[in-house]
Amino acid sequence: LPLEGQTITVASKGFTEQYILADLLRRTLEAQGARVRVREGLGTTVAFDALAADSVDIYVDYTGTVWASLMNEEEPAQRADMYAQVSAWLLAEHGVLSAGKLGFENAYAFATSPETARTHDLETIGDLSGAPLSIASDPEFFGRPEWTRTRDAYGLESLSPRSMDSAFMYDAVRRGEVGLITAYTTDGRIDAFELVLLEDTRSVLPPYDAFMLIGPEARTNTALLNVLGALEGKISTELMRKANSRVDLERQSSAQAGAWLYEQIFPA
């Protein structure tokens, strides 16, 4: 097997999709003979720094996240250009290789309940200007440029931010405990809870295509790159949403959802 005798370290960030993808990577690498260690639940900066320092070999991040949080770019690029620009920057600045997009996008989307949308007459993010609502997001978001840029572009000073584990946001907004959340667009609970997504009419938020990042040392490992190449473009947004729903709505473990996703990509 091509990865016989090798030990590969995979990292994940701290939400359902990331746990599932780390499990998928583990299965994919183990099937080719590797021993795999998984470091789970890291923040974006911790995961990226560990990768750049070669203590992690691979993890999945999103183009818009690298663009805004790591590159500190202001204006979002076109979706088609962004992956190329992000890849070039990662390689030049950190020796990190982009090993292919997985095929889906997981964006931040401002979401509310049907009741709140009706009460405050909300269809677009701009409609939130002056609304006295609380907004819950994952602990990273309010420290990110995506939040400050959206707040400033649409005049959202009347919103009160509240950090919340992303696992709990959807229930909180459905029950009206918070007015809004920044939903992840691959989360099955958007449809299941009939949440209303507010349109970003000024395209302030960037695109967020998921892609594999490989550390400086691991990127010279051609056997590893060949194995990972089999995942490129293999996960549609619909497929990722179904895998996420297995955990968030059907209460499966991320390993069960990872096994299911692996079977969809590599049918027995």
Nearer CB in complex with ligand PBE: 97/102: 102
Interaction of residue 13 with ligand PBE, rule CB under 6 A: yes
What is the per-residue binding string for ligand PBE in 26-45, x denoting contact by CB under 6 A? ------------------x-
Distance, CA of 81 to CA of 96 (rounded, Å):
18
On whether the CB atoms of residues 149 and 225 are closer than 8 A, the answer is no
Is 184 an interacting residue with respect to ligand PBE (CB under 6 A)? yes
Choice from 59, 67, 208, 211 touching ligand PBE (CB under 6 A):
208
Span near ligand PBE by CB under 6 A; candidates 59-67, 70-78, 79-87, 230-238:
59-67
The residues that bridge with 61 in the sheet, in sequence order, are: 211
CA distance 215 to 188: 31
Paired residues of 163 in beta bridges: 137
189 lies in the binding site for ligand PBE (CB under 6 A): no
Out of 65, 87, 112, 221, name the contact with ligand PBE by CB under 6 A.
65
Binding test (CB under 6 A) with ligand PBE, winner from 19, 67, 83, 108: 108
CA distance 231 to 226: 10
For ligand PBE, give the closer residue by CB, 31 or 172: 172
- In the list 19, 48, 62, 110, the residue contacting ligand PBE (rule: CB under 6 A) is 62
**How much of the chain is in helix, strand and coil states, percent to nearest 5?**
45, 20, 35
Tokens representing 255 are: 């390993």
Least Å distance, CB 42 to ligand PBE, is: 11
From residue 40, alpha-carbon distances to 27, 44, 60, 139, 166 in Å are 15, 11, 12, 17, 15
Q: How far is the CB of 110 from ligand PBE (least distance, A)?
A: 12
Q: Is 210 helix (H, G, I), strand (E, B) or coil?
A: strand
CB of 33 to ligand PBE, least distance (A): 30
C-alpha distance from residue 213 to each of 95, 172, 173, 183, 184 (Å)? 10, 33, 33, 24, 20
Q: Which is nearer to ligand PBE, 10 or 34 (CB)?
A: 10
Q: Closer to ligand PBE by CB, 32 or 106: give it.
A: 106
List residues binding ligand PBE (CB under 6 A). 13, 44, 62, 64-65, 106, 108, 184, 208
